[in-house]
Amino acid sequence: MKTWKYVRLTLPIVFLIIAILSTGCVTHRVHGEYLDAKGVSLHYTVEGEGTPVILVHGVAVNADLNWRRPGITRALAKNYRVISFDNRGHGLSDKPHGQQHYGLEMVEDVVRLMDHLGIEKAHVIGYSMGGFITLKLLTEHPDRLLSAAPCGAGWEHRDEDGSRRLEAIANALESHGDYGSLLEEVGVRKKGLGRIQIVVMNRFFRCINDEQAVADVMRSLAELELAASDLRGNAVPVLSIVGDVDPLKRGVDNMAGVLANHEIVIVPGATHYSTLNKREMISALRDFLARHSVE
């Protein structure tokens, strides 16, 4: 019974990715405008009207895959001015090589985009790596935020083992173009049908990424670490949304009772990848934004 449940959960993901690859949908993008971020070109789109909401995607994907395909962009654009962009190293944005181009520069890119568009304050929603960027933005530029929603990510206590895992992911990417270790970090296991999923997703990610750039991004993530004092002193409304079987839920648990002005929504039965497609995700975001938007 347990095996059949696993099959039902895994095969749709595998078949979806195969379908995307076979139809060429993976290369189709909604084209927008470009911003020069200190010599790095960033691609962004603006949709809808109202209070600005900025969407920050996760590692190895792009703004469309993270936000548009699950329907989040469309849902939020009904009531808000939604700005989504490809992080440097991803999508239609430039992909410079070198760890120095990432880390805090990805945080500052959000502020650069706001300045470019004449936005004083905005809601910022991030997922996975975008969640870590959003949390760091919360501590670096709280005056620019109406609210923050770091989803599928949290406060990581980076120890020696965690640092080794990040380096192993980066090494696998730049030496073999292998995303397996990265996928394992977010809960995809190299056993059973998970092996098939990793093979398919490896091909998928290689189609859309520059592995050296993604490796540099992974090595730079240590720059996004937070201090407990930054979390305790927070005055910005914060919402965390995470699946209850997402390994990165540990970081959300770490923030409970430490991060001030913090709400948590746990999505039952959701993984790191499936959370984005759950109705609870959009519902929680819409409710949170409505309560913290300017009239």
Q: Using one digit for the tens of pLDDT, what is the confidence trace for 185-199?
A: 999 987 777 788 899
Domain locations in the chain as residue ranges: 29-156+227-291
For residue 142 the two structure tokens come to: 């709280």
* pLDDT digits 0-9 by tens, 53-90: 999 999 999 999 999 999 999 999 999 999 999 999 99
Contact 256, 114 (CB under 8 A): no
The answer for residues whose C-beta is within 8 angstroms of residue 202's C-beta and 6 or more apart is 177, 178, 179, 180
For residue 225 the two structure tokens come to: 């670490």
231-249 mean pLDDT = 97
**Strands in the chain per DSSP E:** 33-37, 40-47, 52-56, 81-85, 122-127, 145-151, 238-243, 262-267
Greater confidence, 3 or 41?
41
What is the pTM for the complete model shown?
Answer: 0.92
125-141 mean pLDDT = 98
Between the CA atoms of 278, 87, 159 and 201, what dihedral angle is there, to the nearest 10 degrees?
60
Contact 84, 93 (CB under 8 A): no
* pLDDT digits 0-9 by tens, 193-220: 778 889 999 999 999 999 999 999 999 9
pLDDT(4) > 70: no
pLDDT value at position 22?
46
The model's confidence at residue 144, banded by pLDDT at 50, 70 and 90, is: very high
Q: What share of the chain is helix, strand, coil (3-state, %, to 5)?
A: 50, 15, 35
Greater confidence, 26 or 173?
173
The model's confidence at residue 295, banded by pLDDT at 50, 70 and 90, is: low
CATH 3.40.50.620 fits 29-156+227-291, yes or no: no
Greater confidence, 243 or 28?
243
pLDDT(158) > 80: no
- CB count in 10 Å sphere of residue 278: 17
pLDDT(24) > 60: no
For residue 214, report the phi and psi dihedrals to the nearest 5 degrees. Answer: -65, -35
**Strand pairing class (52-56; 122-127):** parallel
Is residue 129 classed exposed, middle or buried when 0-12, 13-18 and 19+ CB atoms within 10 A define those classes?
A: buried
Q: Cα(111)–Cα(35) distance, rounded to whole angstroms?
A: 12
